Structure 1
Amino acid sequence: MAAASPPPRTPRVQVTRRLPAATEGRMATLFDTVFSPDDHALSRDELAAAMADCDVLVPAVTDVIDAELIAAAPDRLRLIANYGAGVNHIDLKAAHARRILVTNTPGVLTEDTADMVMALILAVPRRLAEGEKLVRSGEWKGWSPSGMLGHRIGGKALGIVGMGRIGQAVARRARAFGLSIHYHNRHRLPETVEAELGATWHADLDEMLGVIDLLTIHTPRNADSENLLNENRIARLRRHVYLINASRGGIVDEEALVDALERGRLAGAGLDVWAHEPAIDPRLLALPNVVMTPHMGSATLEGRVAMGEKVITNIRVWADGHRPPDQVLDGLR
C-alpha cells in the first residue's frame, strides 16, 4: 500500500450539525470549515455529499457512517473527528481499511452524564415527573399523608452495568445518597478503587440482577451489548426495581422493557435514550412511572464546548502530521 500523503496544513472540514458559537468561531479561524446551515440530521445523500468534499468530517451521533458510505468517499477524506464519545454509528473496520483515522471526545462528558443519571435515580422512585404534572394540571388538592408516595433510595442496592469513567462517577454520587454499589464489568476494578467506591464486583451479570434495587446502564453500544438487557435478563429483576438508561438505546430490549412495565414486573424506568431516536414507543409515553428526557444526559454548554475543544485538538494534531490524542483503536476507547 502506498504511503499516505501528508495532511493539508489548512484542512477542509465539514461539520454536520450546529455546534456552540465559541466552537464554530475557533474552527472557522483555524480551518477551511463548512458548517451546517441549520441543525438538522443529514440525510444519507447529504452525508455522502459532505464526505465527498472534505479532508476532515466532523459528524455527530445522528450520522450513521456505514461501510458503503466510507467505501464511496474519495481518498481526500482522511480523518473522521467525531463530535462525541460514542462511535457505534461509525463503521470503524471500514474506516481502518480505507486508512481513515477516527477520533472521539472521551472524558469531557463524564460528570455531566453522571449528574443526569443521578437525577433520574432520584426522579423515578420519588415520582418527581408525576408530581410536576399534577401541579401543572391544576388538580392538586394540597398536601395529604398518603399523597404522591414514592420510595426512598437510601439503603438500597444500585447495580451498575459498565464501570468505566461514567459508571464510577455515578457510583461516587450514589454512595453519597446511601446506596450500596454493585457492578458488572468485563474486568474487575483494582481493590483500591473498589474500596473507594464501596463497590462489589459481580462476574456474572445475571447473578447481579437478582440482588439489586436499582439498575443503571453505562456500557457502549456494540455487537456484544445489543439488547444486553433482554427479556430473560429483565425477568431476573425483582418487581420493585427501577431501571435507568442514559447510555445508548438498543442496549435494553425496548419491547421487553415495555412489556415488563405494563405488567408490573418492574417498578419504573428513567430513560434518556431510545432504540429508534427520535421515535419513542407510544406505550412508553402512556406509562406514568417512566421518566423520559430527550437524550440530554451530556447537554451542558460547558460540556459541549469541551467536546469542541477535543475535536479541534484532534484535527490540529493530525494536520501537524502527528497521531491525534483521541484516536479510536479496536472499536472502543
Structure 2
Amino acid sequence: MNKRIVLYKRLSPDLLARLEQHVEVTFVDLAQPDGLARLREALPGAHGLLGASLRLDASLLDLAPDLEVIASVSVGVDNYDIADLDRRGVMLTNTPDVLTETTADTGFALILATARRVVELANWVREGHWQASLGPAHFGCDVHGKTLGIVGMGRIGEALARRAAAGFGMRVVYHSQRPKPEVQARYNAHRRDLDALLAEADFVCLTVPLSASTEGLIGARELALMKPEAILVNISRGRVVDEAALAEALQAGRLRGAGLDVFVHEPLAADSPLLKLDKVVATPHIGSATEETRQAMARCAVDNLLSALRGERPANLVNG
C-alpha cells in the first residue's frame, strides 16, 4: 500500500504484524516523558493515525498535511474537532458495537455495587469491623423490581434495558431524542422527558455521548428532582454531570448514592470530595476494560484504518 501510519497505542503482536504487512508503522509511546515530542516528529508524512485518549488539536494536525484517516480505539469521539477534520478532508473512525455489552456490564456492576454497598462493606470487613450480624445501619437496597431510568437509549442503553427487564424484573423508563419503538416493545419500556424520568426512577443511568447539549446535563436542578433514595450511575462522560453539585447532594443526604466510572478530570484527583463519601463507588474508567473487548476494539480500529487507506469507505466512519 506504500502508506505510513503513526501508532500511539500498543497493539497485540498479531495485530501489529497485520498492520506491518500493509503499511509502514511508526510507534510512539505517549507514556514516555518525550512521547508528545516524538509524536510531533513522526506526524509529517503520516497518512494514518491509530490510538486513543489523545486530543488531536489543530497544532498537531497541522504537522500532518498528508493525513487521510484517524482510527480511534474508542466509541466516544469528543476528543476530536470533527468540523476541523472535515475541512482537512480527514476521515475519523471509531469502534462502536464491540464494547456495548461490556460497558453495559459495567453499568450494572455499578448499580449492584452501589445499591448493596459492596465496596463500602467489603472494606469494612477487611478492616476487621465485622464482629456481629449486620443491622439496619449497614443495609443496602434491592435492585430487582425497581425502576431503571436510562438517559440515552443507544446500543448501550438498550443492552442495559435488556439486563434490567429480563434479568432483574425491573421496570424501564428512558429518555432519548427520538422514540425507540423496538425497545419499548421488547422490554415494555416507557419514554419520558428528562424531568419526569429523574422524578420516577430508582436508578438513573447515563449513557449519552458528550456533546454541547449533554455537557452539564445533570446539575443541581436535575439532582433535586431525583428521589432521596435514588442512585445515579454515570458510564457516559464525566462532563455530563456537575460533580460539585453531585457531591453536595450526596453529602446532604438528597441521594442514596452514585456509581461513577467517568469523571471531569481523569485520573480523578485523590482529594476529590467524591472520594470522601462512602455512598460513592468510583472506578477508573473501566467501561470497556476487559482483555476480550479491548482486543476487539483494537482489531476494529485496524480494520477501519486499512480500509480507509485502501480507498474504501470504512465500516465505522464517523464523519462521512
Q: 1:185 aligns with which of 176, 180, 186?
A: 176
Deviation (angstroms), 1:136 = 1.4
Is the partner of 1:33 in helix, strand or coil? strand
User: d(CA) in 1 for partners of 2:163 and 2:285?
Assistant: 21
Q: Determine whether 1:217 maps to 2:206.
A: yes
Counterpart residue type for residue 248 of structure 1: R
CA RMSD of aligned residues (A): 2.0
Contact 2:69-2:309 at 8 Å conserved across structures: no
Distance 1:38 1:103, change over 3 A: closer
Match of 1:32 in 2: 24
Distance 1:137 1:271, change over 3 A: same
Q: Determine whether 1:291 maps to 2:281.
A: yes
**Cα distance per residue 1:141-183 (max 9 Å; x no partner):** 1433546211001221111000000000011111121211000
Match of 1:6 in 2: none
Q: Determine whether 1:13 maps to 2:13.
A: no
Contact 2:162-2:187 at 8 Å conserved across structures: yes
Deviation (angstroms), 1:38 = 6.5
Contact 1:18-1:39 at 8 Å conserved across structures: no
Q: Determine whether 1:255 maps to 2:244.
A: yes
Q: 1:87 aligns with which of 65, 68, 77?
A: 77
Counterpart residue type for residue 264 of structure 1: G
Match of 2:55 in 1: 64
Match of 2:260 in 1: 271
Match of 1:108 in 2: 98
User: d(CA) in 2 for partners of 1:78 and 1:151?
Assistant: 52
Distance 1:42 1:248, change over 3 A: farther
Match of 1:158 in 2: 148
Query: Superposition pairs for residues 133-172 of structure 1, below 5 Å?
Result: 133-146=123-136, 148-172=138-162
Counterpart residue type for residue 317 of structure 1: S
Distance 1:274 1:21, change over 3 A: farther
Q: Which structure features the higher share of helix residues?
A: 2
**Length-normalised TM-score, structure 2:** 0.93
User: d(CA) in 1 for partners of 2:262 and 2:318?
Assistant: 23
User: d(CA) in 2 for partners of 1:121 and 1:211?
Assistant: 16
Deviation (angstroms), 1:262 = 1.2
Contact 2:8-2:29 at 8 Å conserved across structures: no
The answer for unaligned runs of 5 or more in structure 2 is none
The answer for unaligned runs of 5 or more in structure 1 is 1-8
User: d(CA) in 2 for partners of 1:227 and 1:44?
Assistant: 30
Is the partner of 1:210 in helix, strand or coil? helix
Deviation (angstroms), 1:41 = 9.4
User: d(CA) in 1 for partners of 2:34 and 2:92?
Assistant: 19
Distance 1:42 1:129, change over 3 A: farther
Contact 1:10-1:319 at 8 Å conserved across structures: no
Percent identity, aligned pairs only? 39
Deviation (angstroms), 1:50 = 4.0
Deviation (angstroms), 1:193 = 2.6
User: d(CA) in 1 for partners of 2:38 and 2:216?
Assistant: 30
Distance 1:142 1:12, change over 3 A: farther
**Cα distance per residue 1:196-253 (max 9 Å; x no partner):** 1120001x21121111111000110011110111111111111111000111110011
Deviation (angstroms), 1:322 = 1.3
**Length-normalised TM-score, structure 1:** 0.90
Is the partner of 1:29 in helix, strand or coil? helix
Contact 2:28-2:35 at 8 Å conserved across structures: no
User: d(CA) in 2 for partners of 1:216 and 1:236?
Assistant: 15
Distance 1:260 1:247, change over 3 A: same
Deviation (angstroms), 1:137 = 1.1
User: d(CA) in 1 for partners of 2:115 and 2:7?
Assistant: 40
Is the partner of 1:160 in helix, strand or coil? strand
Is the partner of 2:266 in helix, strand or coil? coil
Contact 2:68-2:309 at 8 Å conserved across structures: no
User: d(CA) in 2 for partners of 1:205 and 1:45?
Assistant: 45
Contact 2:86-2:319 at 8 Å conserved across structures: no
Deviation (angstroms), 1:100 = 0.8
Q: 1:55 aligns with which of 13, 27, 47?
A: 47
